[in-house]
Amino acid sequence: MSDEAATAVEIWTDGGCKPNPGPGGWAAILRFNGHERELTGGDAATTNNRMELTAAAAALEALKRPCQVVLHTDSEYVRNGISRWVNGWVRNGWKTAAKEPVANYELWQRLLAAAKPHAVEWRWVRGHAGNPMNERADQLATAARDAAAKTRLPGST
């Protein structure tokens, strides 16, 4: 672990749906100075991208003071959105380059607000590739998704 990582809050996030769209779950694992905290949640009707965004936002919102953060995500959508696309979206009034409304803009706004007090390094990790913390986040998100699926009424969409 680098010196920077040793002084930073390390966060691993994951989110997903099955089917997509459908019941979804998200999870975040926060680690700092030998302490760990797990956060999870779900939605009976959502998308993979919404769950990925929710995981990152909820993790950052859980921090009680400004922090150095290394946030690990297996979502290229989240990583590219926050590090490459969002400034253009904001400049264009939350419109894409094609002048269409940005999908999930309210969650992007939530994520920006949650990240603002912190110095966040966004790290992409390959999903389902044996990274123990990513695998654990995936297991937690899957359990949250399964719990959300059980809250659906039979025959509902």
Evaluate the CA torsion angle 12, 25, 89, 67 in order and state its sign. Answer: negative
Q: Pick the catalytic residue: 22, 52, 72, 81?
A: 52
Catalytic status, residue 74: yes
- Phi/psi zone of residue 94: left (φ > 0), alpha (ψ -120 to 50 degrees), beta? left
Q: Which CATH class is domain 3-149?
A: alpha beta
Q: What is the pLDDT along the chain (157 residues), one digit of tens a residue?
A: 444 445 899 999 999 999 999 999 999 999 999 999 999 999 999 999 999 999 999 999 999 999 999 999 999 999 999 999 999 999 999 999 899 999 999 999 999 999 999 999 999 998 777 889 999 999 999 999 999 998 865 554 4
Catalytic residue list contains 15:
yes
- 3 state DSSP class of 153: coil
Give yes or no: 52 in active site.
yes
Q: Which of 3, 100, 128, 130 is catalytic?
A: 128
Q: Please state the pTM of the whole predicted model.
A: 0.91
Partners of 30 in beta bridges:
11, 37
Cα distance between residue 51 and residue 101, in whole Å: 19
Q: Has 25 been annotated as catalytic?
A: no
What does the pLDDT read at residue 155? 53
Domain residue ranges in the chain: 3-149
* Known active-site residue 128: yes
Strand partners, 121: 70
Query: pLDDT at position 127, please?
Result: 78
How high is the pLDDT of residue 28? 98
